[in-house]
Structure formats: structure tokens, C-alpha cells
Structure 1
Amino acid sequence: MSSSSDRPGRPPVTRLLEALEVKRNAVISLVVGIAFTVAVFLFFVVIPGVDQQLTYLIALGFVLATTTAGTVLIVLTVYQTIVLSRTLEDGEEM
């Protein structure tokens, strides 16, 4: 058995995901997606009293929540990438 000093560090992909704060962005995007879907569901289904099949509306709500969460995740991760790259550029110039 090899000792812990012989083991390589974390893989580069893991370090990149941590640097871009992907886990935090995923949680935020999930909350935003669910909140947006609940607001749309209330505004367009509950308040007007729509007489549609409930399973159909729940399926549409799931699609809306996942699409919104994915979009927010991409936007947050791209933003974090830009911030990180600017930080690295500023650090190299010093």
C-alpha cells in the first residue's frame, strides 16, 4: 500500500469546479428555478383557476424549473469564470 504522500492531489477538473463554485451555483440555480416555476404556476394556473389536466401542468412546471435552473447555472458559472480570469490576469501583472 502506498502512503498518502505518494497519492496525487485532486484532479484538475475537481479544482476547476471548486474554483468556479459550481456546487454553490447549482444550489442557487435550483432555488431560482423552483421559485420561478411556483410563481408562474400561481400566476397562470391557481389565480385564474385554469381547468387543465393537473399532470400536464406539473410536467410543464418540471420542464420550466429545470430549464430555468440550467440557464441560471450557466449564467452564474460564466460570470464566475470571467471574475476568476480577471483575478488571475491582475495577479500576473503584479
Structure 2
Amino acid sequence: MTDSSQDYDVIVIGGGPAGLTAAIALADAGARAALLARRAPYADNRTTALLGASTEILERLDVWRRCSERAAALKTMRLVDDT
């Protein structure tokens, strides 16, 4: 961490799929965006299901081509609510 300060138009808090997408989209729109997320000491290997609109925005931001090779079509979804 440094003592230097910078001005941002927006700060996105959270480095999950939604936070990363928001930060990229804001920067792509011309905002001075900062992403504030914890640095995980390990890889987060959880599965994330992306529906049509999610992949469309990632394509528009030129991100999908970088991760599409690791994606697979969702064939079955089972939701479990333990409340």
C-alpha cells in the first residue's frame, strides 16, 4: 500500500464476477475506475453460471474471448435452499 492519492470517478468494491464486470464496464465508458478487492491467498475455483445477458456484456467489453475456452454450456441447474 502506498501513501499516494488518486482521484477516481467511481470505486467498485468487490472483485467477484459482478464487481470485475462493473469495473471493466465503467472504465470502458471512460470513468476513472478503481477496483477494491481482497487478494485471495489461493485461487477461487468456484463455478459461476452465466446467463445470456452476462455473456453478451462480456462480449461487448471484449472479455469473453479471453475466458470462453474455459466455459462450458450449462446443462442442468439444481438450486438448494437450506433455510
Provide the TM-score with structure 2 as the length reference.
0.24
Give the number of the structure whose alpha-carbon radius of gyration is greater.
1
Compare relative contact order (CA 8 Å, sep 6+) and give the higher one, 1 or 2: 1
Between Structure 1 and Structure 2, the one with more strand by share is 2
Between Structure 1 and Structure 2, the one with more helix by share is 1
